[in-house]
Structure 1
Amino acid sequence: MTVQINGHSMRLVCSVMTLMVFAWITPASRADITFGEPDFYAECTPAHFPTRARLFDMDGDGKNDLVLPGRDPLNILNWCSINTDGSAGPMQTVAVDGQVDDAVAADIDGDGAAELTLVIRSYSGRLQVLRRAASGLMVSSAIIPLDREPRSIAKGDFDGDGDIDFAVSCYASEHIAILLNGGTGNFTVSQRIRVDAWSGGAPGPQDVLAGDLNADGRTDLVVGCMGTRRFDIFFGQAGGSFRAPVSWLTPEFPNINKPAVVTFDLGDVDGDGDIDILAPLLSTGAGQPVVIFRNDGAGGFASAVKVGEVSGGYHWGALLADFDGDGDLDAVTSTVLTGNILVWRNDSTAAGLAFAAPISLEYSSFARHFLAVNIDGDCDLDLIEADISGHFALGYRNLQDCGGGAFTATKQPRVKSERTVLATDYALGDSPACVIARQLAGFGADLGALPAAASLVPPPACGPSGGGGRCDEVHANPGCFTTPCCDAVCSVAPDCCIVTWEEVCVDLASTECDGLVCPSYGPCNEVHPDPGCEDPDCCARVTPLDGYCDGATWDWVCVARAAALCGLPPCTITVPAGARANDEACYLHTNDGPNRLGAVSQLLAGHTVVGSCTTG
């Protein structure tokens, strides 16, 4: 099987494809959950790829509207009203600071009115706060710098001071950022916690959700790591800090090999009073498993129970909500390519977890996110899905009649025996499912190559806005990103800045540029358009840790890294007797460790090894 996901095509090629069937737990004898045809339809603007469905009062009429954050090259947010009859109002837009992957409504300044905080997905990641002006319009009131490519946000009172704090997953910089609120909506990044640092740069933290997992009264965090097949649990501590994560690996099942984490939801699925994890896992095997990670009451998730399995497509969406009014949480999942939305009724008893056979809701193509909300004003929850490839949101009315009416026959899950193909080979890593999960996670409008720098105008061809590429790589356009290197090369070979940056330009860069970016123009403690900075030692310390600082531009993330890493004193580690002396800075070499003999520990299957190093 070979798969490629790109901005406009999602098709599957199989050399041999047999008829796809659905497998599920034997249903209990209860009435099926039933939804009507989707009569709520909200079409997004043409370039908008919705990533979430959220609620917020955008027009100030006292009623929640549907907000659709999304990947949009025009940098606009889509939203529409939810009419009293359950239909969607016309789509409206708000200009924002970039592509929005997530949004959260919360009163962050204590004035009694909620603000809408947007997660701006960018290499120079940031949060944007929208407040309602006196005119009634939503206006930008604050930009909060973050790290590389934030994708998800969770809220809670982490430090117990009565105001809302945030946790943000930064996908490309592989950590969770903790932002504590000073009480008036002035946030400070108090902690950056690495996610699965042992994985060598590919954990892929996508979603972060908050809840008290160990019943200690503090907010904890759950992060889904697409590249490592793990859920990372961050337990809250006094003062609003979080401990290093505890990881739980996805289990393997017969014919399901190394399934990947995609999206998930939190809730008390088994009715024992603590928070469990609903996880539709993505597999390249015969089935897509629906798994409940059961909480042991102390925040441990060693018990992973498969409650259902689907053949066809790839799992993605997840939602827990009580759709039949019986007091327990039912589940919604989605599959990409087959385009199914599946509703699973919770039939669990004291004897164990069980879900009935799923019903399928039609018309989806890539249901990326779900929202449970009463859109028609009756007494049950309806379902809205944000469809990233279809550029729309659909709403399905719950026909349960508040749990007491007659039920119509339900449709069976949709089965597709073939999909036309657009595919190229990809390099398979440890788990092909993780590769596909990361591709699906990136679906939508591409990230902008570089942030705007309106006040800085680089010279033609040379510089990050000159249209070239890295100075050490061949590319079709003339010039390269690093201005001093580009100037040096083009003074010798002018065609490199006029015609194309070919191999001779790269060769000249290797001899003329003295490390390509270090040193470069611009102070290390100030934002500037060139990659690198003028202090060679500081530049050499930061650029190996962040390719954006090395190959694109010196933005606020690079400045923050410089502030944290540069100016540190040399290593002060006491060298044991007999150890090899080394006068280099710690971050420039790998030595033999604290003694000549070292230490050896036998590793067994399932063991995790954690190491640490100094950078001082």
Structure 2
Amino acid sequence: MRPRTAGLLAAGAVAAAVGAAMPAAAPAVAPPSPSPSPVSPDEAVVRQACTPCHALPPPDILPRDQWTAKIYEMAGLMMSGIGAPRGGKAAIPADFDVDAVERYYKSLAPVALATPVPWPPVGEGSPRFARHVMKLAGADNQPAISNVRFLDVDGNGALKVLATDMTHGLVMEGDPRHPERGLSVVEHVPNPCHTTLVDLDRDGRLDLLIADLGDVPPADHLKGSVVWLQRLATGGYRKHVLASGLPRVADVQVADFDGDGDLDLIVAAFGWRQVGSLLLLENRTRDWSKPVFVPRVIDQRTGSINVPAVDLNRDGRPDIVTVFSQHYETVAAFLNLGGLSFRPETIYTAPHPAWGSSGIDVADLDGDGDLDVVLTHGDMLDEFLLKPYHGIQWLENRGTFPFTEHTLAALNGVVGPKIVDLDRDGDLDIVAVAFVPDPRGPDQGPALSLPSLVWLEQVAPGRFERHTLETGGRHVSVDAADYDGDGDVDLVVGNFNATTENWVEVWENLTVKK
């Protein structure tokens, strides 16, 4: 928990009143403030080492036997300046005592982290769903579906499933009304991470923007790119690379940020430890056979995951919201001042650098007329540990920065929040998936049956009830829409390291009978 301070003004006010009522007495003296708890020499070293780059990590965020490796990993990064604010050097003295840091954490860390909080049984209080499997014909490899969407790619009102496989370099589509027909390949992109549907060239046909990692393993390379699949009158696509030589690109969204009538791009160039940024691509295209986008760095931090473009302050200009993971663990807004100038604001900062931020969605969750943020923090691709502080948070917009945080649920491995009215009762709910590479508990015993698809039902304003839709799956993406037009909300999830028969699952909502 973050430290909080409270004033002791009431005691001082009482002392002053008593002194005024007693003539000829000595002046009243307020009692001394309590002294802060002494800081041990080891803790002083820890604070000097850690806080130049990020919030002070509490000892209980990792089990005792994990701290030595983590401390020496971080010490190496600090000595090289990696992770220091804005790429500068952290103020680490030449005689830095790494042994003191190790003593501090190993003396206070728990032997094991707490067991995951149990969720309700599958299906309890939830809509009924029929699951339909979609696969890529002829595939003999396990899928790694990084993003899945319901999108009207043909512009005729019929939703298709769009899916990207990041290890095989595939952008695929399929008809959810006929899952038996499977998926077909639309285009090959090195490592597609996310798709966005937009008519970029304003020709009346819907195109696809692809965020391309460039390579799957985390690394500080410049292989990432932004790819535009331009829809042709004949029905196919022409591939254009709008920007290349980028850090690993996790997301790309569109808006007319400069108000000149065309669409610009905002890019989450996640990168890794040394390279990465929040990047704006200004549209200066005159001939769409040769698109031109000029890059502008909005923020130099690495680890940007999602970049929804929304009018956060309701001034008529599109703003940017993003979440910086890595050691920053911050949800940030960039308010559009016009002329491609932005004012940064902090929406939320996590209490420690292992928070595991994994995704955001933006909507008016509480129905009060402004935009809130839902944050998931469940990244397990560092220590592969089940962490009790992973979960889902509502960051409530009360008109000032930072937003007000509400912890809605604890959930290991949670990613990909989607704000949607799943039960069609007039308020917004939250759907999310979870990716747990190793579902064994803290003692590394038998695999636990952990939730992998969940629904947080808003049962009263700001109050949410947990529902487990599935356990045991491995998903990093979910989307929601009424694909069959029957009046209820259906789901689609992408599988990661499932079987070759099961790439994408369409969850048909059976609430409304056909």
TM-score (norm 2): 0.64
Question: Which residue number corresponds to residue 267 of structure 1?
Answer: 363
* Contact 2:306–2:359 (CA under 8 A) maintained in structure 1: yes
Question: Which residue number corresponds to residue 509 of structure 1?
Answer: none
Equivalent position amino acid for 2:305 in 1:
Q
Unpaired segments ≥5 residues, structure 1: 5-13, 25-30, 197-202, 406-616
Helix, strand or coil at the partner of 2:365: coil
* Contact 2:306–2:323 (CA under 8 A) maintained in structure 1: yes
Helix, strand or coil at the partner of 1:67: strand
Asked if 1:180 corresponds to 2:282, the answer is: yes
* Contact 1:215–1:297 (CA under 8 A) maintained in structure 2: no
Question: Which residue number corresponds to residue 507 of structure 1?
Answer: none
Partner deviation per Cα, 1:51-97 (whole Å, 9 max, x = no partner):
11134456787733211122134x332221222xx635322113424
Helix, strand or coil at the partner of 1:264: strand
Helix, strand or coil at the partner of 1:273: coil
Q: Please, which of 141, 146, 149 is the counterpart of residue 54 of structure 1?
A: 149
Question: Which residue number corresponds to residue 132 of structure 2?
Answer: 39
Question: Which residue number corresponds to residue 424 of structure 2?
Answer: 325
* Contact 1:340–1:365 (CA under 8 A) maintained in structure 2: yes
Whole-Å separation in 2 of the counterparts to 1:23 and 1:280:
17
Helix, strand or coil at the partner of 2:339: helix
- Which 4+ stretches in 1 moved above 6 angstroms? 14-19, 59-62
Asked if 1:132 corresponds to 2:231, the answer is: yes
Equivalent position amino acid for 2:470 in 1:
E
Q: Please, which of 158, 162, 176 is the counterpart of residue 257 of structure 2?
A: 158
Counterparts in 2 of 1:60 and 1:277: CA distance versus 1, 3 Å = closer
Equivalent position amino acid for 2:296 in 1:
Q
Once superposed, what is the RMSD of the aligned Cα atoms? 3.2
Whole-Å separation in 2 of the counterparts to 1:17 and 1:215:
43
* Contact 2:346–2:402 (CA under 8 A) maintained in structure 1: no
* Contact 2:119–2:468 (CA under 8 A) maintained in structure 1: no
Q: Please, which of 209, 212, 235 is the counterpart of residue 120 of structure 1?
A: 212
Shift of residue 148, structure 1, vs aligned partner = 1.2
Unpaired segments ≥5 residues, structure 2: 1-62, 70-109, 215-221, 380-385, 437-449
Question: Which residue number corresponds to residue 316 of structure 2?
Answer: 217
Asked if 1:249 corresponds to 2:349, the answer is: yes
Helix, strand or coil at the partner of 2:453: strand
Asked if 1:71 corresponds to 2:166, the answer is: yes
Counterparts in 2 of 1:19 and 1:292: CA distance versus 1, 3 Å = closer
Helix, strand or coil at the partner of 1:308: strand
Helix, strand or coil at the partner of 2:433: strand
Question: Which residue number corresponds to residue 497 of structure 2?
Answer: 389
Whole-Å separation in 2 of the counterparts to 1:165 and 1:277:
23
Partner deviation per Cα, 1:95-139 (whole Å, 9 max, x = no partner):
424111111111111111111121221232222221233442223
The share of aligned pairs that are identical, in percent, is: 21
Equivalent position amino acid for 1:104 in 2:
T
Q: Please, which of 457, 461, 470 is the counterpart of residue 362 of structure 1?
A: 470
Equivalent position amino acid for 2:299 in 1:
R
More strand by share: 2
Whole-Å separation in 2 of the counterparts to 1:43 and 1:112:
30
Asked if 1:82 corresponds to 2:176, the answer is: yes
* Contact 1:232–1:248 (CA under 8 A) maintained in structure 2: yes
Question: Which residue number corresponds to residue 403 of structure 2?
Answer: 302
Map residues 201-600 of structure 1 onto 2, 5 A cutoff: 203-227=302-326, 228-244=328-344, 246=346, 248-251=348-351, 259-282=355-378, 285-298=387-400, 300-310=401-411, 313-337=412-436, 338-349=450-461, 353-356=462-465, 358-362=466-470, 365-390=473-498, 392-401=503-512
Shift of residue 289, structure 1, vs aligned partner = 3.0
Shift of residue 401, structure 1, vs aligned partner = 2.3
Counterparts in 2 of 1:229 and 1:110: CA distance versus 1, 3 Å = same
Equivalent position amino acid for 1:165 in 2:
D
Q: Please, which of 132, 148, 170 is the counterpart of residue 247 of structure 2?
A: 148
Question: Which residue number corresponds to residue 189 of structure 1?
Answer: 294
* Contact 1:341–1:360 (CA under 8 A) maintained in structure 2: yes
Counterparts in 2 of 1:148 and 1:372: CA distance versus 1, 3 Å = same
* Contact 1:131–1:141 (CA under 8 A) maintained in structure 2: yes
